[in-house]
Structure 1
Amino acid sequence: MAFLQLTAIVVDDYDEAIAFFTGSLGFELVEDTPARTNDGRSKRWVVVRPPSAETGILLARADGERQAAAIGDQHAGRVGFVLWDDDFDSRCAHMRAAGVEFLTEPQTEPYGRVVVFRDIAGNRWDLLGPAGPA
């Protein structure tokens, strides 16, 4: 059996990223473990994921100028992540109340209801839900 277990997002700060993903997006903190870089420096292994999801996000603090330059532009300005929620309206309202930056207004497309937002690192996401009343 094969499946996508993790995808990484490069961030400035572990704790700020954890607060955003757990507070603003309602994700669970799955793991926050001390670790070491390949050359022995301290880092953390931080994984968050939506409740009931199997695939998580590894929050990776930028290490060096090249990685720092990728923060917020990991997908060259395109939407790089899609968060599905069966209750699109409630999730959208929670995120608005938490101060999440929305780049579009919700709209209905053939594949469902969608709104684009930006995460704490500046990456673009789609919040996607079932097509239904607008």
Structure 2
Amino acid sequence: MVYLQLTAIIVEDYDEAIAFFTGVLGFELAEDSPSLTNDGRPKRWVVVRPPGAQTGILLAQADGDDQRAAIGNQHAGRVGFFLRVDDFDASYQQMRAAGVEFVTEPRTEPYGRVVVFRDIAGNRWDLLG
């Protein structure tokens, strides 16, 4: 078996990112464990994922100026993450009510309904239904 286990998102603050992904997007907090950087400083290993999914997102708190500069621009302004939901309209309305920033209006494409939003770090996502 081969599958993509994790992808990372650089964030400013672990707890704010956890609150966004679990409270706003409905992800599960799969892991939040103490860890160490390569040079021995404390950090956390924080993984969130959609309910029932195998693939998760490692929330990586920025460490240093280079990483802080990448927050919200990990894909050079392009959509880099794609969240498929069963009920597009309900998810869109719930996210709007929670204050999620949408950068486009919902539209219908051959592959379904889509709207672009930003996560807590500023990265662009497609919400797909």
Q: Can you list the C-alpha shifts for 1:79-103, whole angstroms capped at 9, x where unaligned?
A: 0000000111111111111110011
CA shift for structure 1 position 21:
0.5
Q: Can you list the C-alpha shifts for 1:48-105, whole angstroms capped at 9, x where unaligned?
A: 0111211100000001111110000000000000000011111111111111001111
Distance 1:35 1:123 in 2: 25
Distance 1:81 1:108 in 2: 18
Counterpart in 2 of 1:132? none
Counterpart in 2 of 1:63? 63
TM superposition score normalised by structure 2: 0.98
SS of the residue corresponding to residue 58 of structure 1 reads strand
SS of the residue corresponding to residue 48 of structure 2 reads strand
Distance 1:66 1:126 in 2: 26
Matched, 1:72 2:60: no
Distance 2:33 2:96 in 1: 30
Counterpart in 2 of 1:117? 117
Distance 2:2 2:40 in 1: 31
Q: Which runs of 5+ in 1 are unaligned?
A: 130-134
Distance 1:6 1:93 in 2: 28
Distance 2:93 2:21 in 1: 15
| Identical positions, percent | 79
Q: Which runs of 5+ in 2 are unaligned?
A: none
CA RMSD of aligned residues (A): 0.6
Equivalent runs, 1:1-134 vs 2, <5 Å: 1-129=1-129
Which amino acid is the alignment partner of residue 51 of structure 1? P
Distance 2:4 2:51 in 1: 16
